[in-house]
Amino acid sequence: MAKSNNIPQIKNEEQYEALVEKGYSKQKAARIANTENAGKKGGSASTYEDRTKDELYEQAKKIGIEGRSKMNKKELISALRNN
């Protein structure tokens, strides 16, 4: 599905639609559907609890979580899971 006028393109439209139907925001659904391995199972990412606070902070920064600089590790994990 090609779009014009600088509107972002969704790489995995089927996954995007399914996520929106599940109640995800359009922004979060697009972010998930546009990941490199969108729609593939069996990812090897470590759990948030296994990551350092600095790694969690960088992930929160990457996706634009506000107030991250004042959060402790537990708060960062919660914010990342609920974004």
Q: Does the structure show a pLDDT above 70 at 62? A: yes
Give the start-to-end residue ranges of the domains of the chain.
9-38, 46-83
Categorize the per-residue pLDDT at 37 as very low, low, confident or very high, splitting at 50, 70 and 90.
Answer: low
Q: What is the pTM of this model?
A: 0.51
SS3 for 14-67 is HHHHHHHHHCCCHHHHHHHHCCCCCCCCCCCCCCHHHCCHHHHHHHHHHHCCCC
